[in-house]
Amino acid sequence: MSIFTGAGVAIITPFKDNGEVNFEKLGELIEFQIANGTDAIIICGTTGEASTLSHEEHLECIKYTVEKTNKRIPVIAGTGSNCTETAIYLSTEAEKFGADGLLLVTPYYNKATQKGLKEHFTDIANAVKIPIILYNVPGRTGCNILPETVVSLAENVKNIAGIKEASGNISQVVKLMSLAGDKIDLYSGNDDQIVPLMSLGGKGVISVLSNIAPKETHDMAAKYLEGDTQGSLELQLKAHELVDQLFCEVNPIPVKKAMNLMGMEVGTLRRPLTEMEPAHAENLKRAMIEFGIKLK
């Protein structure tokens, strides 16, 4: 059984002017997502600036999201770390709070061999009972989990259920799915590759775009799952320029700017991330208008 099918939002973390997490705003964003058909909330991932949250803030965000969502849709907690013991701690706490699943990124900076990846993910998975989605994003971590490693984990660790693939390497995903069959659930980690990865057997997407266009992203995945591949493709192509602008600077710089342009007042970013360059912001604004998003 998949943790979810369709479009899950990699939700941002809103901050107050003083830099604290704005939980009231986070609650508003969760309600906005649910009202617009989002199929799952992924809290404390890359887009949520988890790397600059303290452990206390990280766990508070997970606990708040679980309670606010109240089982209406699944909550998947980002609890990965480049330290196995830290990932185990965050994961066991998230399970206690009632998270429906975990998202575990490959270790960054210190990285790991494929053997090390197997041991890292196995140790974390054995510490919890809830299902796990691996997160492969070598462009940010410098660490690529190979298809053979994913399949080995899926076959030998019962609660490793899926993978968020953000390598951008379609050939690698083809190999993964040819080896894995139905042993692993595939989710696109790139908003410009939702339809391509679903055509390879993907269950949906963990999306940045969903922060500002939840209904359209949900519909893109839902149409594909319902057999309306042409309708899904049309939405994918329509979103191309907007997605391009959402990644013209390091995520989540552009998406937070976009949300503020919509009047959502999600606050600023934590250093080392900085505000978007004015020229890039104008391009983003134009793409949003062309897509049909209303600005403040």
* Annotated active-site residue in 68, 164, 223, 256: 164
**Amino acid at position 48, single letter:** G
Q: Is 164 a catalytic residue?
A: yes
H/E segment holding residue 26: helix 23-35
Measured CA to CA, the distance from residue 271 to residue 61 in angstroms comes to 19
Indicate the burial class of 159 (C-beta count within 10 angstroms; 0-12, 13-18, 19 or more): middle
* Annotated active-site residue in 63, 68, 118, 135: 135
The gap from C-alpha 244 to its chain's centroid, in whole angstroms, comes to 17
Residues 6+ apart with CB under 8 A from 272: none
Measured CA to CA, the distance from residue 10 to residue 52 in angstroms comes to 16
CA distances from 195 to 170, 173, 276 (A): 12, 13, 29
- The b/e string for 217-228 (b: 16+ C-beta within 10 A; e otherwise) is bbbbbbbbbeee
**Amino acid at position 27, single letter:** G
Catalytic residues: 135, 164
